[in-house]
Amino acid sequence: MPATESFAAAHIKPGLLVSTNYAEMLVKEIPAEKFAHMPHPKMNHPAFCLGHLSIYPDKMFELLGMEDRVEEKPGFEELFSPAAECVEQDGRYPEKDVIVEYFLDRHRALAEALPEISDETLQQPNPMEGRMRELFPTIGAALIFTTTGHIMMHLGQISAWRRAMGMGSAM
């Protein structure tokens, strides 16, 4: 009889792959020269949204004790952290292809690692401090939010950006 799939493999991986594929569809036809354009002063552009999301798989690898999987891209944490401000492209943001490839690589790497994560690991208390532990008391809760809700929240921003730029649905 085959071994039972872990919760992460059975329940988290499908949503992560759907979100990752949706992100790829959303940004595919956006011209590179518009990728970091702000059609409204308070609207995050796709470069910022995808760059921000791209730093989270490595944060999850660290949370899961899989530090050997971390492949941080220099400068991304400073440019795309929650404390960073999204601005009109002034030369600070990497090219579209660099951001998209890093986003896809990191999220696909995390998806591939999910079957290795035990249910016991997901049930452990979240070691992050402050509000993150309050909101997500277990490692599993933090991983689920990061791989689903967080991604879709920012992809919704890209979808709204597309409409503000006169682009249609990506679906």
2 domain-assigned: no
20-29: per-residue pLDDT in tens? Answer: 999 999 999 9
Which letter does DSSP use for residue 138 in this model?
B
The alpha-helical segments, DSSP class H, found in 29-144 are: 46-54, 56-63, 76-80, 96-113, 119-123, 131-135, 139-144
Number of domains in the chain: 1
- Contact call for residues 161 and 155 (beta carbons, < 8 A): no
What CATH number is associated with residue 70? Answer: 1.20.120.450
Is residue 152 in some structural domain? yes
**Which carries the bigger pLDDT value, residue 101 or residue 7?**
101
Structure confidence by residue, pLDDT tens digits, 95-114: 999 999 999 999 999 999 99
Q: What is the extent of the structural domain holding 29?
A: 11-164
**Residue 168 — pLDDT band, cuts 50, 70, 90?**
confident
Q: Does the residue 150 lie in any domain?
A: yes
Determine, yes or no, domain membership for 1. no
